Amino acid sequence: MKTLSNKNISKIGIGSYGIGGRGHRDLKLTEKLDDENYIAALVYSLEKGMNFTEIALGYGHGNSLALFKQALERSSIDREDIFFTHSLYTRDLPSLEVIKEDIADFHKVMATDYADSTLITQSLIMKFGEETIYPLLHSLFDDGKTRYVSLSNANPKGIRAFKKEFNDKFIAHEGHLSFEIRALQDKGVFKTCDELNVRNIIWRPLRRNQTAKQNWELLDELAKKYNKTHNQIVLNWICSLRYNPMVMSANKKHIDENIASTEFHMSDDDYQRMTDFRPKNYHPPKIDWESPGVGSSIVTLISDFENHVSQ
């Protein structure tokens, strides 16, 4: 997975949800810091070599993209050196017209001719149908508006169907993996992507620092053994699987800590223990893999983890 200027993507990418405040178009904006904090953190991340992100127009009610653009201008990094995935999330997009506006706005706000990839979720395909979404994505290739396409929160069947349609233009799948939540690992999502040569990008790998707060015995043991933080052990393990986590941070100390997590190795045995770990007394709800509304969404699964652990 390379930028237009032919640079490999960094091991860890920049999480953009939260930049300019948390909130999709249907959610109130919360936790908003001063814009300068975000711009400074983004410039810092870009200058340190973090060169990929995924961004949606709905993130921060549009603030995320606008601030990213300002940070890019202020940095010494060129547009062609960044791999931008423009994400189309179902919750922000009530109609095909709004999807088309969203794509046009991405190009306009970023002042760019192209997205490196255009991401859709499996739920977007379910909502609008392959017969609507596939031609739309093909038209982006025809018009030179995107270099690749990506998928998110899909099951192995959906990933295979997308591969059949887009072949080598299908560059990445964005899925969740954290220390506690292994639903996609157990469903074979990452393995399917590896087999099909589709890059596994991992979202919310630190569960917004909630994992570190759990004080897990295994993380504690490995953190002490390698003299690292709990978050560093998690990111290092995810990178060891050749997946690329994306982390959001507006804090330079955390950004340094996250980048440094790629700079050490653990023993094969310790990596295996991380991969094999499953939380005890955790009873996850059924996942809504194929039919919206039947079970929990993957996003809910992550935020609800603590509510499904019995003592």
Residues near ligand NAP (CB under 6 A): 15-18, 54, 152-153, 174, 203-209, 231, 246-251, 254, 257-258
Gap between the Cα atoms of 152 and 43, Å rounded: 27
Pair 50, 12: CB distance under 8 Å: yes
Count of CB atoms situated within 10 Å of the CB of 144 = 9
Pair 235, 206: CB distance under 8 Å: yes
Both tokens assigned to 212: 């570190």
Gap between the Cα atoms of 248 and 260, Å rounded: 15
Nearer to ligand NAP, 156 or 205 (CB): 205
> Rounded to the nearest whole angstrom, what is the least distance from the CB of residue 208 to ligand NAP in the complex?
4
> Rounded to the nearest whole angstrom, what is the least distance from the CB of residue 311 to ligand NAP in the complex?
25
Gap between the Cα atoms of 38 and 44, Å rounded: 10
Pair 120, 165: CB distance under 8 Å: no
> Rounded to the nearest whole angstrom, what is the least distance from the CB of residue 174 to ligand NAP in the complex?
4
Nearer to ligand NAP, 13 or 284 (CB): 13
Nearer to ligand NAP, 42 or 266 (CB): 42
Both tokens assigned to 204: 């919310």
> Rounded to the nearest whole angstrom, what is the least distance from the CB of residue 258 to ligand NAP in the complex?
5
> Rounded to the nearest whole angstrom, what is the least distance from the CB of residue 269 to ligand NAP in the complex?
25
> Rounded to the nearest whole angstrom, what is the least distance from the CB of residue 231 to ligand NAP in the complex?
4
Both tokens assigned to 130: 């392959």
Place of tokens 């001063």: 34
Nearer to ligand NAP, 77 or 298 (CB): 298
> Rounded to the nearest whole angstrom, what is the least distance from the CB of residue 232 to ligand NAP in the complex?
7
Nearer to ligand NAP, 112 or 258 (CB): 258
The single-letter DSSP state of residue 173 is: E
> Rounded to the nearest whole angstrom, what is the least distance from the CB of residue 142 to ligand NAP in the complex?
26
Smallest Cα–Cα separation from 246: which of 254, 258, 256?
258
Number of residues written out for the chain: 311
Nearer to ligand NAP, 205 or 284 (CB): 205
Nearer to ligand NAP, 5 or 209 (CB): 209
Nearer to ligand NAP, 112 or 211 (CB): 211
Gap between the Cα atoms of 137 and 211, Å rounded: 36
Q: Which residue in the shown chain puts its C-beta closest to ligand NAP?
A: 15
Place of tokens 């993957």: 298
Pair 235, 13: CB distance under 8 Å: no
